[in-house]
Structure 1
Amino acid sequence: MTAAETDRALVERVAKGDRAAVRLLFMRHHARLYRFAARQTGSELMADDIANEVFLELWRQAPAFEGRSEVSIWLLGIARFKALSLLRKKKEDWIDDDDAAQVADGADTPEVVTMKEDKGAALRCFIDAMPEEHRPCLLSRAIGERDRRGTRHPGRQVKTRMFYARKELGEAPKAAGYDRGWP
Structure 2
Amino acid sequence: MQNVIAISAAACQGIVAAQTTTDEMLLKRIAHGDCSAMHTLYLRHNVRVYRFVLRSLRDATAAEDIVSQVFLDVWRTADQFEGRSRVSTWLLSIARFKTLTAMRQRRHEDIDQENVREIADGADTPETSLDRSNVSAILRACIAKLSPAHREIIHLVYYHEKTVEEAGEIIGIPPSTVKTRMFYARKQLATLLKGAGLETLAA
- Normalised by the size of structure 2, how large is the TM-score? 0.43
**Structure number with bigger Rg:** 1
- Normalised by the size of structure 1, how large is the TM-score? 0.47
